[in-house]
Amino acid sequence: MFQQPNRIDTVKAMAREAIDALDALPADALRGAEFDRDFCARLVINDELVGEDFREAGAEILRHLARIEPDETIARELDRAMRRLRDAINGSYCTAVAFSIERASSIQQAA
């Protein structure tokens, strides 16, 4: 049988794609959101993607990007970065929920 990818590995890959997509944007697109972008990148490097910190920082970046009125030259890249980041945030949340369900189930079975 084929081995399915680990949930954490999937979220890591999604988060790396999101960071890469953010880095592909012009520098002034992230002006004002550099701290959150760097914080997200550190969380990716440290494999700390399932906690709220990643989701909150990612949401801050999304709010920042949503305020941009892009011209034709960056509209596609901006949309791609926002989609990738949204996917990573959703993946993080779904993984956290799945882990909490598994934990509750194992505690219940142990009792």
What's the pTM value of the predicted model, to 2 decimals? 0.85
How far apart are alpha carbons 74 and 1 in whole angstroms? 43
In 3-state terms, what secondary structure has residue 70?
coil
pLDDT, tens digit, for every residue of 7-21?
889 999 999 999 999
What values do phi and psi take at 50, rounded to 5?
Answer: -90, -15
Higher pLDDT, 98 or 68: 68
Contact 64, 33 (CB under 8 A): yes
Domains of the chain, by residue range, sit at 7-110
Q: Assign residue 22 a region (left: φ > 0; alpha: ψ between -120 and 50; beta: otherwise).
A: alpha
